[in-house]
Structure 1
Amino acid sequence: MMATAPVNNNFDYTSLNTKNNKVKTAAEQQQDSFMKLLVKQLQTQDPMNPMDNAQTTSQMAQINTVTGIGKLNETMMQMQSLYAGTQVMQAANLIGKEVLSPGKGFHFDGTNKADLRMNIPEGTTGAVLSVFNKDGVEVAKIPSSTTTPGLAKVEWDGKKADGTLLPAGEYTVAAKGQRDGKEIALDTVTWQVAKSVEFGSAGVGVYLANGNKTGFGDVIQIRAAGSSTNA
């Protein structure tokens, strides 16, 4: 089981297929405009009171600063595009694998324990995770064995409270706890098979087997499809 590092997903992937028709870079356009203004200033200056060398040098330094910043910005954009291309290949490799990401739906295979997670905020007590069948009926309730803040793992053996083993199929979860004397809802994290990925203006999106979508940057772990949920 391999964890992924946090990634910046704020990139317009549609720009990777856009042809660049610019004749001049933004930095070059800024430099041209600055030079035209400086030349015009020199041409229209008072011959009896010309611009001194220090002033000219200062304006030339400003030109170099503007040009340098513009070139730096374009270099960073090129690096971001290269990184985005690499991320496209990484995201494509998710297809057919199981990903752990924020959500409520999961598939129980009828044999292995289901690996479920809930996020416990600091100061929360009595955290409990409920499992529901496809009809929305609660079939199991599992208390967390820890109160440590963070992502707590909860395993469900596929059985009801009376010990009856439930069939394989799609299930959902919900979690809640107590904080400051009030009941609060807790975020849940589940495993789902990644069916496809989308590269759009909002970044990389991962479509899951249950029809939901999650961000590439929200994927916490990846494993081969069909792996034991006890892993």
Structure 2
Amino acid sequence: MSEVDFNTLQSLGLAQQSTATNTSKSNSDLGQGDFLKLMVTQLNNQDPMKPMESGDFLGQMAQFSTVTGIDGLNTSFSEFASSVSNDQALQAANLVGRRVNVPLQAGVLTTGGSIDGELTLPTSSPDVSINITDQAGQIVQTIPLGTQSAGPVAFSWDGKRSDGTVASPGLYNVDAKARIDGQNFELDTQISADVDSVTLGGLGKPLQLNLSGLGSVPFSNVSRIF
């Protein structure tokens, strides 16, 4: 009897991978044609004095319906998987060359560019600030954001050091802090980055965005698209 194609289920993230699952159709599996041949052969060779009971015949027809239904289910899942893949391809084409916000603690400074992003305050704070540090851990610039209400807070670093000189292009860490109820708290940041390319997911893997100078992140991590 035909088996559900678990490769299709896994590609949709609807089934867990199992090393014991044999996804290829073995020689012992019976398709619709094989099932019909066996049933006809049984009818032709039955004892005329003891014909097949109507209940037995209906039972075999029910088994045949199950075979047909499973094959149809496989086809439906395959078509659905193809549709999902096509939708991902369309999303990918629209994202390349665009800018997105993703949860990162670092950004890339380009020549004449800036590092932009936002943080989210769980509650209001009288003192919010951003420290920009280089790869050696040295503070390059501190950006005071002052008093802020709860919610998203945008920030931008223009690439200038605290002494007014322009910092070299490269990777810089972004550390956000806020004073809440008399205590300092570190905050997660969303960094704006350019999408260079997209890698389509397969076998349950998510769509990956390849960001300029920052590696790849899952598409599901994107909080904003510009």
Pair 1:162–1:90, CA change in 2 (3 A) = closer
Pair 1:222–1:147, CA change in 2 (3 A) = closer
Deviation at 1:169, TM superposition (A): 3.7
Correspondence 1:205 to 2:208: yes
> Which residue type is aligned with residue 88 of structure 1?
A
Pair 1:162–1:105, CA change in 2 (3 A) = closer
> Which residue type is aligned with residue 140 of structure 1?
T
Mapped to 2, the partners of 1:147 and 1:169 lie a distance apart of 33
Could you list the per-position Cα deviations for residues 172-204 of structure 1 after superposition, in whole angstroms to 9, with x for gaps in the alignment? 22346799xx98765432111112222353343
Could you list the per-position Cα deviations for residues 143-192 of structure 1 after superposition, in whole angstroms to 9, with x for gaps in the alignment? 682445xxx2331354889685754744222346799xx98765432111
Mapped to 1, the partners of 2:124 and 2:42 lie a distance apart of 68
Percent of aligned positions with the same letter in both sequences? 27
Structure 2 length-normalised TM: 0.60
Structure 1 unaligned blocks of 5 or more: 1-9, 13-23, 224-231
> Which residue type is aligned with residue 54 of structure 2?
N
Match of 1:217 among 199, 215, 220: 220
Structure 1 length-normalised TM: 0.59
Contact 1:178 1:184 survives alignment (8 Å): yes
Pair 1:65–1:153, CA change in 2 (3 A) = farther
Could you list the per-position Cα deviations for residues 33-66 of structure 1 after superposition, in whole angstroms to 9, with x for gaps in the alignment? 5445655766787777654212321331232133
Mapped to 1, the partners of 2:50 and 2:184 lie a distance apart of 78
Mapped to 1, the partners of 2:56 and 2:123 lie a distance apart of 62
Q: Whose RCO is larger (CA < 8 A, sep 6+)?
A: 1
Pair 1:159–1:107, CA change in 2 (3 A) = closer
Give the alignment's Cα RMSD to 1 decimal.
4.5
